[in-house]
Chain A
């Protein structure tokens, strides 16, 4: 008699376990086929030998990674020295993506704050307005950006008209153009998570801070920002990661000098000049770095969450 109860309980939890497995299956299938398998394929390809007209030969080789990090001379017979070509492209990409993220944060935070502090009924309209430009294809938006920024474009003409400058500023084909392009491409990914966080923020906390002699600036820095931090971090990741791998903005706005990782990888898989194992290796290196960054953020976040419970 005493054993009947635990037995029943085990049976229930067993059924529950089975149901859970079945219910989770679709997500596992989607994750597996769309995310895990492609990554494994890339990993495998990065360790193969290149076929000269694109594609791979199924022979194990480290040459893709070797080519990324080391220079062995024109004929490959000199002692290896560190090759900064690709490393510097990576470094520039991180820099560009970082600046674009900071720009998005600088514009996105006040925007999100503004929307979240409007009356409830008008907030949806503001969010809608933010997303409208993003109904247009990214390629077209990036090309339009080029028209806006070029020597005879509206920006330069306006600056000349108000007498701020005498001759057009060279913006296209500079780092700044790429940063502006990336910033504009991914701004909503910054605005929306911050908006969600600020909307949940209890403004009586700000009142309490003011009541306890804190100025507006101190209230922002010591109360509002720490409380909405998860939203800010989410926004930064959502802008930084796609910026890093982007190739449209650097290709169209940056010119040859402002090459980024996205373009480098893209070219390895395009036409006959490509090198699939090298493209795969570059992708894996990028993936690893991004993963490390995300893990660090996630750990901080969970520490933050733990502290709040």
Chain B
């Protein structure tokens, strides 16, 4: 059973502020030892859910369990859960060491014991040399690590992280992403990470819950969510995608025959709930297509190159489908030699890898 147990079970949790419903009956389970991410745009309810788990917000309806025990009525200081705050919320009048020792002392350690352990935590985040400084004397990245050490020191059962990297510059953020991931592995503590940055979520998480307007849109591994988005919102929010309006014509043997604007025909896998005649969306990742002068794959679309955009590792080619919408194809620069580059104005075919086209529910 060990390892199968859930760290957090949220059941039908609702959060209302007056007449506004911030969370609409969310249910999800977070496994022990997992790096779990709540991902969504601002205002989607991810921070509200995190604050409900921490105990800063009441649960209007439903329940929250921590390793099988109901905690939704406990005040935050009686939940064995710690938080890394978005603005770090370090105590300005205490030294770095005393900041980290605070939680240990509150949990009943003696002052010297708490300081010893706090010192060890600071070693773990490589800040031993700064223990006698005040938080204001540290850089943003260092403050971030102090906040992390302070939250980890009392050995919580679950660590909550509320967009902790959003104030850091890109390079530092990338480094901290890896450091966080390592810390999670080393400590074996369940991390619940809130972010609006889909790339960050994909890089770090074991599983991701995508949220929007107070609802859970999809829950799965980064790969699941990227490759098989469940609806238009998820497909659009995670990564770059071509979202095309299509009409489903016929469905036969698990294959749906669809028509794009301009009369282009495409075959893709049937999706439960989508019937012939339906007008739905189709999702195609730019990197799962490639350009050629003649059709190569079974599925291809005809169009004219409009523009090539250099984006470092890749080149994005914008193509107008004949009498249809525009479409983006991504070619890695290392493939360019073999697949060639097509100047604007060239008539081309867009080839779809098998299974690349997915029909989506709204």
Contact = CB atoms under 8 A, between A and B. Distances in A.
A214 B83 CA distance: 14
A130 B100 CA distance: 40
Interface stretch (A12-20, A203-211, A267-275): A203-211
B250 interface: no
Interface in A180-231: 202, 204-205, 207-215, 218, 223, 226-227
B89 A215 contact: no
Contacts of A23: none
Contact of B89 (A205, A226, A304, A308): A205
B298 to A, nearest CB: 56
A205 B56 contact: no
Contact of B77 (A204, A213, A304): A213
A227 B92 contact: yes
Interface in B24-78: 54-56, 75-78
Interface in A29-45: none
B89 A208 contact: yes
Contacts of B151: 211-212
A215 B77 contact: yes
B119 interface: no
Interface in A223-242: 223, 226-227
Contacts of B91: 205, 208-209, 223, 227
B356 to A, nearest CB: 45
Closest 3 CB pairs of A and B: A212-B103, A213-B106, A208-B89
B193 interface: no
A240 B89 CA distance: 34
A210 B51 CA distance: 12
Contact of B150 (A212, A226, A307): A212
A215 B83 CA distance: 16
13 contacts: A204-B85, A209-B102, A209-B106, A210-B77, A211-B76, A211-B77, A212-B102, A212-B103, A212-B106, A213-B106, A214-B77, A223-B91, A304-B93
B199 to A, nearest CB: 27
B154 interface: yes
B154 A212 contact: yes
A215 B108 CA distance: 12
Interface string B78-122: 100111010101111100000000110011000000000000000
Interface of A: 202, 204-205, 207-215, 218, 223, 226-227, 304, 307-309
A163 to B, nearest CB: 40
Contacts of A307: 93, 134
B93 A214 contact: no
B87 A204 contact: yes
Interface residues of B, number: 27
Contacts of B85: 204, 207-208
B89 A309 contact: no
B106 A202 contact: no
Contact of A207 (B56, B90, B103): B56
A208 B83 contact: yes
Given A212-B102, A213-B77, A207 B89 contact: yes
Interface of B: 54-56, 75-78, 81-83, 85, 87, 89-93, 102-103, 106-107, 134, 136-137, 150-151, 154
Nearest to B135: A308
A204 B89 contact: yes
B106 A218 contact: yes
Contacts of A202: 87, 89
Contact of B54 (A211, A213, A227, A308): A211
A309 B75 CA distance: 33
Contacts of A304: 93
A217 to B, nearest CB: 11
Given A208-B85, A212-B106, A214-B102, A226 B93 contact: yes
Contacts of B54: 211
Contacts of B83: 207-208, 211
Contacts of B92: 205, 227, 308
Nearest to B95: A307
A282 to B, nearest CB: 40
B106 A214 contact: yes
Contacts of A211: 54-56, 76-77, 81-83, 103, 151
Contacts of B81: 211
A205 B56 CA distance: 12
A213 B107 contact: yes
Nearest to A223: B91
A109 B52 CA distance: 30
A223 B93 CA distance: 8
Contacts of B56: 207, 210-211
Given A207-B83, A308-B92, A308-B136, 12 more contacts: A207-B56, A207-B85, A209-B102, A210-B55, A211-B54, A211-B56, A211-B151, A212-B106, A213-B77, A213-B103, A227-B93, A308-B93
A212 B80 CA distance: 9
A49 to B, nearest CB: 54
A186 B240 CA distance: 64
A207 B78 CA distance: 13
B288 to A, nearest CB: 43
B66 to A, nearest CB: 14
Contacts of A218: 106
Contacts of A214: 77, 102, 106
Contacts of B75: 210
B64 to A, nearest CB: 15
Contacts of B87: 202, 204
A210 to B, nearest CB: 4
A167 to B, nearest CB: 48
